[in-house]
Structure 1
């Protein structure tokens, strides 16, 4: 079914027209692929149970490892993310050289190893190793999975299906916070292992990316991949394959030509810019100060309820994003997202600056909580969800894995820097600075979206790169191209 079976011969000699190819004929199988791939991000969200509320038990001594100090928990969790830097490089190069599916298989195996380590953890080093494996899984879930989906899904639903990965992460968080009081830690760890084990089987039924296969001159396999993902419609598969074969994917280029092409430069700038703004426009700041904001707002929610409420808000916002991404476009959602982030963060900056100057704000102590909720909505509408969508649409197929590696490394470094410097800035300058900086960056992100980010709604993956790609005279066509079309 899914292991890229290539029909021995086409029963229909007809090749579908461009108009027919523009219609999606394989939605059910594309949705199946999206569900299977997104299980990785669901597992990532589920793993948050190890940070909170489990950290409460760890600091209280109610755990098999022994009593931990709160700072030790934070250090263990934070330093384990160094492994994600290496993971990003490994996953990206694997996807670029050997295919998207081998990278997904590798991620699932690392996930299983990490879950088993955590399930049998008896010391702090084991917890560090397990969380290191989990951080590798997060990189693969948010990079390689959406990469494969972007190359299997039809252009009319591509944005929605990739956004589903972000939605699954939020579902995982909600499950972690909601079900944790009713199940033991061991149950969660078993589930954490079962999901990637099931993926190892389910991946068999999903084909490799046809774009990757054509770029590697494996045209017959690409034929089978399109046959599967287009609902076994042979004329449609032939029509799409003909478009891929006649594109720049089948042209010989040196590494230098690929890197110097305008498409690569523009895709790299857009992709890394969106990743940078995802991590620096306030989300990590709220992760650090969410408990403090809730407590100062009258403690109307406990730690567990706070997690449930905000996971629910994120799910609602992600559902709206999933619905609108292929209707109103990517740039519109980014404008709304960065604009909302700017307003929420600016209000909080003024609020905490006023507290520092001894202004009495007792009557509006609820304001930070409201701002945090508004930020959660705006962030998940675009800045949080579209970072898995647009980098996979604007980067050329030949360099997508390399750029994904760079994005993953940047993502991991920014996580460590932002989380590490928050307490330093608060200690020396005041807490308001931690909200002032991302508010300024959000304003810069609005300009970046207007000037740099392209609109990719309704375009095939080739449309954008072909517009900016090197001219035909700079490339040498493949010999023995395809004789059966």
Structure 2
């Protein structure tokens, strides 16, 4: 085994320990799917209405928008590793509250704590994995964040239908505790140490992550950090600096498409959606199939993101989810008009949803977290990450909450047609605006953004003169 291969294995091992916390986030994200049918049933010891169920789903994501700013400050001041370790505490509290819950109000509070942890994790984890990785595997390591999230969701689909709500919560409690025990022993980001001129600690961290001679890479990282830190980054730099402004516009655009294609609603309401498809397969089995397909496709994305590139995967993903959303919406429309007319097509919804999941998982699910780790210089990366995740949290909450409202008011087919329109609009955005960053260093990406900004300014000047 070569030194380069050993280094890559070390990077994957460290990233795996770090992303155990995103698997915990996945358990929180997927938990409502097998749990809501029970809570809304007559057998439930916590009587829950449809409106209360929609709040149980969405309040977690709403609260996730509260923690990016404080976690950004904390990660910048005390380190990415410390912040991620503290991020496990809200998850632990959340699952303990579910175990002891006797009312819907306690479930709300439990989901709020889970949301606080969710916001911390998705602000800091992309930065940590992006900073410990070499250029060759940075994309693959960043996609591990989403892969582990999908593993957590799959665990809910597989275990939830067969155990009680409280037993499922007790099982889920194992993950954040395991994360704390393992992550204590991994190194801090060398970028963080060099930002505070702690060269010896940065060298020890890099030696832990690499095999062979690290002197050249350490020097390159040091130069990159010094270049980024010449001017101390501030919140206003995200808007004032033209390259940061363009990167933020691109990043928020990608995350908008990720949410408005409907993924948050499909995952959280999976069993409810399958219950109205007319399929002959039991709802929970369809959810398990969906979860398995998510995980398998995310594994494929880990392999493809550093081979095919970011842009091709996102374009293919947007096209696929747009077409499948349209197909699902059309089926539900005819099913609502006269279910007998489409009885022979009972296989279509599950097939279309599975293709949707494949298309979503291969690009929109994973690549946005790669992009946010690559598009910004070190001095403003945390600020950009927290802005993106506040925005994403609000968008995801809106999608999850309005799914039930629109479904009840205008039919489930209207929801999926809306998702289809937004997905196809996103396809055009990807083709026109998104740059390719595959295999490029952070410095090269920044140089490309500066060239793009210069071209944009030149076009504006020509337009004004004309």
In 1, Cα distance between equivalents of 2:199 and 2:435: 30
Aligned match of 2:26: 45
Runs of 4+ in 1 over 6 A off after TM superposition: 356-359
Aligned match of 1:306: 286
Secondary structure at the counterpart of residue 443 of structure 1 = helix
Secondary structure at the counterpart of residue 65 of structure 2 = helix
Identify the match of residue 320 of structure 2 among 337, 340, 344: 340
Higher helix proportion (structure 1 or 2): 2
Aligned partners of 1:394 and 1:464 also within 8 Å: yes
Measured after TM superposition, the shift of residue 185 of structure 1 is 4.5
Secondary structure at the counterpart of residue 361 of structure 1 = helix
**Number of residue pairs matched?**
448
In 2, Cα distance between equivalents of 1:393 and 1:193: 32
Change (3 A) 1:134 1:152: same
Q: What's the TM-score, normalizing by structure 1?
A: 0.83
Moved more, 460-469 or 316-325: 460-469
Aligned match of 1:478: none
Aligned partners of 2:322 and 2:421 also within 8 Å: yes
Note the residue ranges of structure 1 that are not aligned, 5 or more in a row: 1-19, 471-485
Aligned partners of 2:244 and 2:376 also within 8 Å: yes
Deviations 1:249-303 (A, max 9, x none): 2413464556522331122112211111111012234347644653454332223
Identify the match of residue 443 of structure 1 among 424, 427, 432: 424
Measured after TM superposition, the shift of residue 324 of structure 1 is 0.6
In 1, Cα distance between equivalents of 2:264 and 2:155: 21
Identify the match of residue 279 of structure 1 among 247, 255, 259: 259
Deviations 1:30-50 (A, max 9, x none): 112111111112122233564
Secondary structure at the counterpart of residue 328 of structure 1 = coil
Q: Which protein has the larger Cα radius of gyration, Structure 1 or Structure 2?
A: 1
In 2, Cα distance between equivalents of 1:115 and 1:428: 33
In the TM superposition, 1:195-206 aligns within 5 A as: 195-206=175-186
Note the residue ranges of structure 2 that are not aligned, 5 or more in a row: 452-466
Aligned partners of 2:255 and 2:388 also within 8 Å: yes
Calculate the aligned-residue CA RMSD, in Å.
2.9
In 2, Cα distance between equivalents of 1:276 and 1:328: 23
Change (3 A) 1:129 1:290: closer
Measured after TM superposition, the shift of residue 104 of structure 1 is 0.5
Aligned partners of 1:121 and 1:127 also within 8 Å: yes
In 2, Cα distance between equivalents of 1:68 and 1:57: 9
Change (3 A) 1:110 1:231: farther
In 1, Cα distance between equivalents of 2:162 and 2:332: 38
Deviations 1:14-63 (A, max 9, x none): xxxxxx99x67622221121111111121222335642323333334656
Aligned match of 2:231: 252
Measured after TM superposition, the shift of residue 130 of structure 1 is 1.3
